[in-house]
Amino acid sequence: MKFTKKSQEHMDACRFCWMCRHICPIGNATGQERNTARARALGLSLVAREAVAYSEDIINNVYECALCGACVKECVTGWDPVAFTKEARLVAALDGKLPPYVLKMVTAALETGNVYGATPDDKLTAKIKGLKKSDTLFFLGADARFKTSANAVEAIDLLLALGVDFAVLENEPDSAYGLDFLVGAAAETKAAAEKCAKVLNGYKKVICYDPADAKIFRREYKEWGVDVKAEVLTFTAFLADLLKDKKVKKSDLVFTPQDSAILARDLEETEPIRAILARIGEVSEMLCNRRDTMLAGNLIMNEYMPLVMLRVASDRWTNAKNVGAKTVVTESPAEYAMLKATEPDGMTVLTVEEAVAKCL
């Protein structure tokens, strides 16, 4: 079992520290010490020192992390549990030790182009076929296409209503986000990225509906040496800029943003959603907002930890309740799906496009 020197340094530093245990969404949901960065570092450091085997239990623990970066943000000494957790997943893949539930999704991604092994929704496919060619691509991503396709249709309808000229691919390539989440920078992940980049480079501008795809296009592709020539924008940033010159109704609705951890921490983008909501209503913040946001769910993890994901989403609803929020607005298809599945009586979760559509 070989880890890089950098990862071993971070593991050794993290294994004695509890600085971030209070902000881990998985640890808060399970109440188990094993779901803290410290516990994961302790187990992996023992593996790296060859004191214990890279056992099934330790590998399963590696996949109990959402990679949301809350621990990294909280660490004042600069250690990075996300980095060594991702490396541990890659090592498991290279050593042929992937858990069956992970191997199933990796195989599905390689065979079908998405980790869910799903087929496109008929309504979404019909909507896409009606779009004209354009040099602007609206990239939906796997979560939207296969898990929240109704929202994808609504987002397309909103852009059309706002007069945007864009294309959506009927056979959209895998961005490699799912593979990166499951096995990191493996050869298969990079190959999927190269294949996707060739498609993206046929456009001048790419608008990413899912923050996860925006992140991988902007950050991981660069690290892997995969060149994307197109301008990559997030859906919320594009929409916020678009609405500056559009007439919208100012409603009496009060919206509470659920910041995507990917947007807030990885891409440092927190204000577009607030600019949008301020145009159409009033903004009311919940606790743990912007870079301090708490994850509200992950659809890949929902495939193998569904009860925990429901608890994670329920915990976020508790944060919203505690500040009297009634309408929560999400930027992430995955978080929308999990918040919708746990939506309390008297409260509502909306996508950004749903919120805007109410005020056109």
- The model's pLDDT over 122-173, given as tens digits with 9 standing for 90+, comes to 999 999 998 888 999 999 999 999 999 999 999 999 999 999 999 999 999 9
pLDDT digits (tens, 9 = 90+) for 320-346: 999 999 999 999 999 999 999 999 999
Quick check: is 102 in a domain? no
pLDDT higher than 90, residue 40: yes
pLDDT higher than 80, residue 45: yes
Task: Indicate whether 127 and 231 sit together in one domain.
Answer: yes
Task: Indicate whether 254 and 296 sit together in one domain.
Answer: yes
Note the pLDDT of residue 211: 98
d(C-alpha 146, C-alpha 276), whole Å = 26
Is residue 213 very low, low, confident or very high in pLDDT (cuts 50, 70, 90)? very high
Place of tokens 């994307």: 228
Note the pLDDT of residue 247: 84
Note the pLDDT of residue 210: 98
Last residue of a domain, one of 240, 274, 306: 240
d(C-alpha 56, C-alpha 244), whole Å = 52
Quick check: is 330 in a domain? yes
- The torsion defined by the Cα of 261, 264, 270 and 273, in degrees rounded to 10, comes to -30
Task: Indicate whether 284 and 340 sit together in one domain.
Answer: yes
Is residue 1 very low, low, confident or very high in pLDDT (cuts 50, 70, 90)? low
Note the pLDDT of residue 91: 95
% of the chain residues with pLDDT over 90: 85
Assessment of whether the complete model's pTM goes beyond 0.85: yes
% of the chain residues with pLDDT over 70: 100
Contact between 106 and 183 (Cβ < 8 Å): yes
Cβ-based neighbour number of residue 159 at 10 Å: 23
Task: Indicate whether 277 and 304 sit together in one domain.
Answer: yes
Higher pLDDT, 283 or 18: 283
Task: Indicate whether 151 and 211 sit together in one domain.
Answer: yes
Cβ-based neighbour number of residue 354 at 10 Å: 18
Note the pLDDT of residue 58: 95
Residue 335 maps to which CATH number? 3.40.50
Note the pLDDT of residue 153: 97
Count how many domains the chain has: 3
State which residues form the domain around 161: 122-240
Note the pLDDT of residue 332: 98
How does the average pLDDT of the chain come out, rounded?
95
Question: Could you write out the DSSP letters of every residue in 240-296?
Answer: HHHHTTS-----S-EEEEE--HIIIIIS---HHHHHHHHHHSEE-PPSS-GGG----
Task: Indicate whether 86 and 136 sit together in one domain.
Answer: no
Quick check: is 265 in a domain? yes
Quick check: is 106 in a domain? no
Contact between 356 and 243 (Cβ < 8 Å): yes
pLDDT digits (tens, 9 = 90+) for 50-92: 999 999 999 999 999 999 999 999 888 888 999 999 999 999 9
Task: Indicate whether 132 and 166 sit together in one domain.
Answer: yes
Q: Which two tokens stand for residue 248?
A: 């919208």
Residue 85 maps to which CATH number? 1.10.1060.10
